Amino acid sequence: MDERTQKKHLDLRRKIRNRADYNRGQPQRSRRNRENGMDMDRAVSITNSETQTQVGEQNEEYGRALQAELSKMPTPKVSDIEPRSAFIKYYPPDFDTKEFDVNPSKFLYDLMLCEKGRDGKYTCVYQGDASEIALKDLKPATEYHLKVCAVLGDYRGSPTEAISFMTKTCEPDPPQPPKFDKKSKSSISLKWNAPCDNGSKINNYVLEYEGGETEGNFIEVYRGPQKQYRVSRLVAATKYTFRLSAVNAIGQSDYSEHVAYYTSGSCPSQPDPPVLSERHVTELVLAWARRASDDEYSLHMDDEISGHGFIPIYNGTSTSHRITKLYRNKDYKFKLAAVNEEGTSKWSDIVAFRTLSDKPAAPGKPQLKGRIETHKFKITWDPPKDDGGSPVTNYIVQVNDGKGHERRFDRMDRECSCDDLIPGQTYYVSVAACNESGTSDFSDVCTATTQCVTPGQCSVPKLQGKPKATSLHLRWAYPDYNGGSQVSEFAVQMILPDNTSREVYKGRDLDCIVAGLSPGRPYLFQVMALNRAGGGPWSEPLEIVSGPGVPDPPKQPLCQARSAHSVYITWEGPVNNGATITEYRLEWQLKPDTDFAQLFTGSATNFEVKGLSPATSYSFRVQAINSAGPGLYSPIATCHTPPSSPSGVVSIRAQTTATSVILIWKEPHDNGSEIYAYNIDLGNDKPLVNVGAVTEYTVEDLTPETAYKVRVQAVNEVGVGTFSSAVKFTTRALPPRPPRLECCGSSHNSLKLKWGDGRNVDLITFTLEMDKEDGNFVEVYKGQGYNCKVNRLSEMSSYDFRIFASNEAGSGPYSETFTFTTIRAPPPALKAPKILDISLTGCKVEWSACKTMGEDAIVYNLQLQNKDHEYKQIYKGSDSSYSIDFLQSKSEYHVRVCAIRQCEDTEEIAGPFSPGTTFSTLSPEPVKPDLSQSEETKVAAPKQLTDQQLAALFVFGFFIVAVLIAFIMSQFFPGGNGLRDEV
């Protein structure tokens, strides 16, 4: 239409140009007329603008006409309606090809769908040029409303009238997995929600499970309308997997996703003790293994320093724990327990771990030893008060002259001689101690100055107070002569009874406490003054006798094992160090790496220990005590007790069958002599059974369903142990006999078998097997029911079956082989017949043909429902269509069809009838009235013009008017150069 309008516009401009050419051949007009040529140009411009406006209005009219034609689209048709799909077919609009030059292949279609009512919100489900659409993913048993509209370029027609259709019902949606409600050791309670029924009410739910004895095979445990069920007779602490499906009148849904739950179990067994993962000075990291039965863990610790025993330090699910704020180089004991929903396990064996040692504290302040010479001086120092839990291995001496020059000496002892010094220089000395854990901080600084005159002799030192057993207090005064330099310090020397001497003090004080003395012994003490030049002469000695002290350690005690359960211990008295020994303390060690415990206190020098374990090593030590206190311990003595007869057997378990029992026990302590045999006493006047060094034995030839008492006794080279406690057990009953099989129902592809009636009170499990074509029997059912349906069989075929029964006593023998045969299969149901060529008194009925079943012929039975709602046969034959010609006009009928299988033995098997199809015959046409008037008397009705004809007439009239206006203007304004130039 745009091209046509543009063509007409070009024709109009061409005519105006031709008129201008005509005017150029006319005589010249007056100047006034030439000057008025500009007015002619403006008039032509106005005419062009009006022409464009009219063309736009014509385009709008054309668009409205095209949109009206697009809205004449026929109503779509819906067929092949299924529960989740439908087939949609529609046709293009019926265009007037004379007025609109349109190619139908250019049409596009919008398909809109609504499921909430005819006036609901429509959703576009398809846009394209296809005229046949298969809608999928629809909801079953749902009413849908459908509209279609045609689209051509930018023009869109109105949607068709909405049509509705209803999808068919089907089996329910798969339900959600059943939810857990509660459980016990033998049952699990489940509940579930109803899924979408898809148009047919759910009448049953099918619950199946697998697990325990049915591992790998799902077994139906419930079928009914309830939405909860309690599954009983389960095994404790066992995983069971469940699935659920819903059933309505159409069929059974798919199964839900599998879900697994566990029955209740027992509390965990005793765990292994924790192990040491990391060790630090004040921290320990312990770890342990996780087991399937463990949910949480409880860790307890015993700190001997606190004295509270085992206290909890961790409760949780982790398999490791860090213990902080511990003492260095100390032992700590630990034990572990596992926890789950059922309770707490026994405590593990107790284990002990020790923390690491720390670096030592700073040593004592260094002290000058001897004279400070011109070029050297010697220092000594006290060991650190805290060695960090590990012995000091060496010392580092740091000497600084105060001017930035520093020297270091590495010493093993606690003395150091500083050589190559500058005379008259002041030095600053400090010491650091080292052990296996590191180096301590440096001690306080000691200052020394070289090149001074030594002071004079000090007076004899004086004793302050009474001397003690290991220490005394001395005091002295300044010397009469200080050597010209202020006395900086004093040195005290102690002379031992063996004429050896050692320096016991050096410092600025006028008194000191001398420690490390032996009790009740004479000592000589001298004092010397020192200044910057060195030390003066020693004073006259002062003789002092130390006070009484603790006794010396006794000699190693003598141990003698008198029997497997007693040891006799003797020892000698040590030196008493000036005080009478009042008592002795005997201690023993039961296990290596454990602390000694007190065993005996008294004045006697012997003791007999009783109640010991055979073939065990024990350690002993003795300590003497006097009025000054306890002395050191004696060297450790070790004694080993001889072996003995074994201990009694404990923890016997019996696993019974009908004629035998399996006895299992734990090996008792052999008490130092290896166990080589066991005696088994079954009672009931039966002789003892002697077996080798085993912990499991099977006793045969027992009587079924009989009670026995059993005892076990261990034997080694020393003798026999005590009998264990009697354990009672009862042998089981013999396995059950097989039942007799019967066929209680058969079809063309299944057999229903039974082998009993009533309830299975004895909880007997039946296993049904079927013979395959290769001669091997396969299991088709295992459970406690009395019937089973075997599916997926072939028609008119014989099958062999056998069965056996099982209970707690075991599996019984197979039954004899039973043979059962399936019957012939009926033909399948046909689809609803189609009705064609409907007339006043008849129609044609067609239906889909049924596949042949072997060599048997297939015929069809067509029935028609009359007014009395009774079906009567109107055709029986092999054709798949039939024409009916005896019907009444304007009447409604219902037809259905079924297939019939004609067997070789003249037997006929009819299949189910198809769904019915309803149709109505046509009505007779009404009689037209007789018009007797002549053609001359008829009044011809005026014919109304179409929109296209009116538009063409309007354009033609506009063109004529424009030509007339141009001609008139050329007559009034001759010779217009402006117009000629424009044209």
Would you state the pLDDT for residue 321?
95
* Full DSSP string of 864-891: EE-TTS-EEEEEEES-SEEEE--PPTT-
- Kindly state the average pLDDT of the residues 202-227: 88
Q: Which of 305-319, 388-402, 714-728, 923-937 has the lowest mean pLDDT?
A: 923-937
Q: What is the CA radius of gyration of the chain?
A: 60
The SS3 call for residue 980 is: helix
The pLDDT assigned to 351 comes to 93
Q: What percent of the chain has pLDDT over 70?
A: 89
- 810-836, pLDDT tens digit by residue? 888 899 999 999 988 889 889 999 999
pLDDT reading at 418 higher than 60:
yes
In residues, how long is the chain? 983
How high does pLDDT run on average in the chain? 84
Residue 731: per-residue pLDDT: 86
Per-residue pLDDT tens over the stretch 437-461: 889 899 999 988 776 667 889 999 9
What mean pLDDT comes out for the span 254-272? Answer: 87
Query: How far apart are the C-alpha atoms of 337 and 273, rounded to whole Å?
Result: 9
The string of pLDDT tens digits covering residues 98-137 is 566 677 777 888 888 898 765 678 888 888 888 888 988 8
Query: Which pLDDT band holds residue 943 (cuts at 50, 70, 90)?
Result: low
Measuring CA to CA, how many Å separate 826 from each of 748, 875, 912? 8, 20, 8
Indicate if the pLDDT at residue 565 is higher than 90.
no
User: What would the mean pLDDT of 647-657 be, rounded to a whole number?
Assistant: 88
Q: Are 983 and 17 in contact (CB under 8 A)?
A: yes
In this predicted structure, the answer to whether residue 240 has a pLDDT above a threshold of 80 is yes
Q: Higher pLDDT residue, 770 or 401?
A: 770
Residue 97 has pLDDT above 70, yes or no: no
Q: What is the pLDDT of residue 790?
A: 93
User: Averaged over 736-743, what is the pLDDT?
Assistant: 90
Q: Is pLDDT of 562 > 80?
A: yes
The identity of residue 436, as a single letter, is E
So what's the pLDDT on residue 32?
Answer: 45
pLDDT at 58: 66
pLDDT, residue 754, reads 92
* pLDDT above 50: residue 265: yes
Residue 539 has pLDDT above 90, yes or no: yes
pLDDT band at 13 (very low <50, low <70, confident <90, very high): very low
For 863-889, write each residue's pLDDT tens digit. Answer: 998 777 788 999 999 899 999 988 888
The per-residue pLDDT for 252 is 92
Closest CA to 72 of 143, 3, 161, 4: 161
What does the pLDDT average to over 403-407? 78
Q: Is the pLDDT of residue 335 over 60?
A: yes
Evaluate if residue 505 carries a pLDDT over 60: yes
Sheet strands (E) in 412-510: 415-418, 426-435, 438-439, 446-449, 462-464, 471-475, 489-495, 501-507
16 band by pLDDT with thresholds 50, 70 and 90: very low
Weakest-pLDDT range from 476-490, 495-509, 681-695, 944-958: 944-958
Query: Residue 73 and residue 94: Cα distance in Å, rounded?
Result: 7
pLDDT for residue 385 is more than 70: yes
Q: Say if residue 668's pLDDT is above 70.
A: yes
Which pair of structure tokens corresponds to residue 500?
């050896």
The yes-or-no verdict on residue 910 having pLDDT over 50 is yes
For position 938, what pLDDT does the model report? 40
Distance CA 771, CA 181 (A): 42
User: What confidence score (pLDDT) does residue 230 get?
Assistant: 93
pLDDT given at position 29: 42
Structure confidence at residue 835 (pLDDT): 92
Q: Which of 66-70, 88-92, 757-761, 780-784 has the highest mean pLDDT?
A: 780-784
DSSP 65-85: HHHHHHT-PPPPEEES--SS-
Q: Would you state the pLDDT for residue 983?
A: 30
Per-residue pLDDT, averaged over 538-542, amounts to: 92
Q: Quick one: which of 695, 602, 583 has its CA closest to 646? A: 695
Task: Report how far residue 165's alpha carbon sits from residue 115's, in angstroms, rounded to the nearest whole number.
Answer: 10
pLDDT score for 937: 38
Phi/psi for 777 (5° steps) reads: -85, 140
Average pLDDT (570-599) is: 86
- The letter for the amino acid at 82 is E
User: What's the Cα-to-Cα distance from 260 to each of 176, 213, 253, 482, rounded to whole Å?
Assistant: 14, 15, 21, 99
Q: How many Cβ atoms sit within 10 Å of the Cβ of residue 300?
A: 19
The predicted pLDDT at position 48 comes to 56
Instruction: Tell me the pLDDT band of 3, cut-offs 50, 70 and 90.
Output: low
pLDDT above 60 for 646: yes
Has residue 190 got a pLDDT over 70?
yes
Give the least confident one: 413-422, 630-639, 839-848, 910-919: 413-422
**Cα(615)–Cα(596) distance, integer angstroms:** 20
Can you give the pLDDT at residue 10?
Answer: 52
